Amino acid sequence: MAFLANHLGYAAAGAILVVFFLGFLRFRGYSINGRELVWLLYLLFISMVEEFSFRLMLPSFFLATVGAIPAVVLSNLAFACIHFFTLRWRLMNCIGAFLGGLGLSRILSNTEDIILVIGVHWLVTFLNTPTAPTKQSA
């Protein structure tokens, strides 16, 4: 429970991420408004839901029947498929999501720090989609 032992460090890291996100948006010429702030919160929420689902719950579900490594692979395969079917991502993007998920699983297995994994996911998701989709791109 690194978070409980160092909650101020995690709060500082979260604040640094937010400052980075806002600076990135400004650098790219986007205005900082309520819509962009809500988008950042949405990306954080999605990162939390996906990490708890695909790094903790689903592998735990598979663990008893198939073992640790297959459980992680199956969970990340489900992670990639969700992106393929719900977001209609191209196959190459889904392969990237699968490999990225394996990387996030590796970080979790090395650190046992789900908050760190959520932060990494939030950063990568932001860099992939820094602004909310518009009606034209949706």
Residue ranges of domains in the chain: 2-128
Half-sphere exposure of 91 (CA within 13 A, CB side): 0
In this model, does residue 32 exceed pLDDT 60?
yes
CB-based burial, 73-90: b 16+ in 10 Å, e otherwise: bbbbebbbebbbeeeebe
* Look-up of token digits 């908050």: 115
pLDDT for 84 equals 87
The residue among 2 and 82 whose pLDDT is bigger is 82
Whether 59 contacts 71, CB under 8 Å: yes
The span from the CA of 62 to the CA of 114, in Å, is 19
Q: Considering the entire predicted model, what is its pTM?
A: 0.90
From 65-69, 88-92, 101-105, 112-116, the region with the lowest mean pLDDT: 88-92
pLDDT for 136 equals 65
Mean pLDDT over 88-104 rounds to: 92
Tell me how far the alpha carbon of residue 96 is from its chain's centroid. 13
pLDDT for 27 equals 96
* Residue 22 structure tokens: 């806002």
**Phi, then psi, of 32 in degrees rounded to 5:** -95, 115
- Residue-wise pLDDT tens digits, 113-125: 999 999 999 999 9
| Among 89, 92, 62, 56, residue whose Cα is nearest residue 74 | 62
pLDDT for 67 equals 93
**Which spans in 1-138 are helix H?**
2-5, 7-27, 34-51, 58-66, 68-87, 91-111, 114-128
